[in-house]
């Protein structure tokens, strides 16, 4: 079913033709006028490659190590909510694809498959759990405990969503979770479903009622007291906050603008990556998401200091095409592109990628 698809863009075009409008608009939309959404992808084109030649690149190793664990490729699957809107198996198909590729899968709190179901579907996959801190701290505590018991290797705390950004498409559509689906990590009625009577986006109303806008650095300290898992902060866009994360002895940060779904008008993530890497000075691992659409994009991010990058929407487009096989095909395409970029830049492994191999012509 995937024979004629040659790029992430091909998968995206197919998804646009088959997904219901409610789901498609939710997956593809950004905040506000969507200027940051466009720039997340466009920004990568401003970074030009400076390849080296006449090097023996006949043998290449694409693996890397994150949080002390070796993975086969330096890109994984970012957390995206409600994946069964794209395919009946949703998160289960996605995590199995990540397992087959030997990479990291991050499960969203707002998943349509539970922590336990995902763990059972891919027991050998390196799984991280994306977390929100709820007003009711017992909800968060329970999620953390379940993730630990299920064998997840890290917590990825989203810190850029004290309130949800304004996503105009979801407002116009009155976005709601399809009736046959549920938020599988919850059992109580107030947590499992959105309020059908809420105006506009039902997800935004859900977030406003349950998520905690008072979240601050003291809550990071609290989270550290209830888990021994590594903690990664997702949603860092400034050197100042990255330094505070390092000072708080956080294990990693994800340079992320939430897929451009929170505050429109922020920098593209690739444009702030290098200053954050310099600011933390190897005190924490630095990852990136947002705008990655090719193996060349992966190469550029690694050259600028990212330890690993994560793809969100491309995995959804793979799911929409053919479930697990679609995601695997998408990941294989990106892997081949990255392998080719590595070789044609004169590198045989990730450790040989140098900052001087990428030049930014302009950030304006």
Closest CA relative to residue 264, chosen from 43, 31, 38: 31
In three-state secondary structure terms, 253 is: strand
Closest CA relative to residue 353, chosen from 138, 61, 28, 109: 61
Instruction: Tell me, yes or no, whether 359 lies in a domain.
Output: no
105-158, pLDDT tens digit by residue?
A: 999 999 999 999 999 999 999 999 999 999 999 999 999 999 999 999 999 999
Residue 180 annotated to the active site? no
196-239, pLDDT tens digit by residue?
A: 888 889 988 988 888 899 999 999 999 999 999 999 999 999 99
The per-residue pLDDT for 363 is: 54
Dig out the tokens for 170 from the structure: 């979801």
Closest CA relative to residue 289, chosen from 303, 263, 308: 308
Instruction: Tell me, yes or no, whether 256 lies in a domain.
Output: yes
Report the predicted TM-score, pTM, of the whole model to 2 decimal places.
0.97
Dig out the tokens for 295 from the structure: 């193996």
The per-residue pLDDT for 189 is: 61
Closest CA relative to residue 64, chosen from 345, 346, 363, 335: 335
pLDDT in 10s for each residue of the chain, 364 residues: 556 899 999 999 999 999 999 999 999 999 999 999 999 999 999 999 999 999 999 999 999 999 999 999 999 999 999 999 999 999 999 999 999 999 999 999 999 999 999 999 999 999 999 999 999 999 999 999 999 999 999 999 999 999 999 999 999 999 999 999 999 999 876 687 788 888 889 988 988 888 899 999 999 999 999 999 999 999 999 999 999 999 999 999 999 999 999 999 999 999 999 999 999 999 999 999 999 999 999 999 999 999 999 999 999 999 999 999 999 999 999 999 999 999 999 999 999 999 999 999 875 4
DSSP per position, 242-295:
HHHHHHTT-SEEEE--GGGTS-TTPPPHHHHHHHHHHHHTTSSEEEEESS--SH
Return the residue matching tokens 């390849």.
51
* CATH of residue 108: 3.20.20.70
Instruction: Tell me, yes or no, whether 149 lies in a domain.
Output: yes
Dig out the tokens for 299 from the structure: 């190469």
Alpha carbons 253 and 285: distance in angstroms, whole number = 6
Query: Which helix (H) or strand (E) covers residue 254, if one does?
Result: strand 252-255
Q: How many domains does the chain have?
A: 1
The per-residue pLDDT for 1 is: 57
Instruction: Tell me, yes or no, whether 358 lies in a domain.
Output: no
Dig out the tokens for 143 from the structure: 């999620």
The per-residue pLDDT for 291 is: 97
The per-residue pLDDT for 196 is: 82
Instruction: Tell me, yes or no, whether 47 lies in a domain.
Output: yes
Range of the domain at 242: 8-350
User: What's the N-to-C CA distance of the chain in angstroms?
Assistant: 41
Instruction: Tell me, yes or no, whether 151 lies in a domain.
Output: yes
In three-state secondary structure terms, 186 is: coil
The per-residue pLDDT for 199 is: 83
Instruction: Tell me, yes or no, whether 195 lies in a domain.
Output: yes
Q: Which of 14, 180, 258, 321 is the catalytic position?
A: 258
Strands 104-107, 126-131: pairing kind: parallel
Instruction: Tell me, yes or no, whether 276 lies in a domain.
Output: yes
The per-residue pLDDT for 264 is: 98
Residue 35 carries which DSSP code? Answer: H
């Amino acid at each position: 079913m995937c024979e004629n698809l040659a790029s992430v863009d091909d998968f995206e075009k197919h998804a646009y033709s088959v997904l219901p409008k409610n789901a498609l608009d939710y997956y593809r939309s950004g905040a506000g006028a969507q200027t940051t959404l466009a720039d997340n992808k466009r920004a990568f084109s401003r970074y030009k490659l400076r390849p080296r030649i006449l090097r023996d690149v006949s043998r290449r190793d694409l693996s890397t190590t994150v949080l002390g664990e070796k993975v086969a490729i330096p890109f994984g699957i970012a957390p995206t909510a409600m994946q069964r809107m794209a395919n009946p198996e949703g998160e289960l198909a996605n995590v199995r694809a990540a397992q087959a590729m030997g990479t990291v899968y991050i499960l969203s709190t707002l998943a349509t498959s539970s922590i336990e179901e995902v763990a059972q579907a891919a027991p050998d996959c390196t799984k991280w759990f994306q977390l929100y801190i709820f007003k009711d701290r017992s909800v968060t505590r329970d999620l953390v405990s379940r993730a630990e018991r299920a064998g997840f290797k890290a917590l990825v705390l989203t810190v850029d969503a004290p309130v949800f950004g304004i996503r105009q498409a979801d407002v116009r559509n009155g976005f709601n979770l399809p009736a046959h689906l549920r938020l599988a990590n919850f059992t109580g009625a107030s947590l499992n479903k959105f309020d059908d009577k809420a105006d506009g986006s039902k997800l935004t109303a859900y977030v406003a009622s349950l998520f905690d806008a008072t979240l601050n650095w003291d809550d990071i300290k609290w989270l550290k007291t209830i888990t021994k898992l590594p903690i990664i902060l997702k949603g860092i866009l400034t050197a100042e906050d990255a330094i505070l994360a390092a000072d708080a002895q956080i294990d990693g940060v994800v340079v992320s603008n939430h897929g451009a779904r929170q505050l429109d008008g922020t920098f593209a993530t690739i444009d702030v990556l290098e200053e954050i890497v310099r600011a933390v000075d190897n005190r924490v691992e630095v990852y990136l998401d947002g705008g990655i659409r090719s193996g060349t994009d992966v190469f550029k991010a690694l050259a600028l200091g990212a330890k690993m990058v994560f793809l969100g929407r491309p995995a959804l487009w793979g799911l929409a095409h053919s479930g697990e096989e679609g995601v695997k095909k998408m990941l294989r395409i990106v892997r081949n592109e990255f392998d080719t970029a590595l070789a044609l830049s004169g590198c045989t492994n990730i450790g040989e990628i140098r900052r001087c191999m990428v030049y930014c012509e302009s950030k304006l």
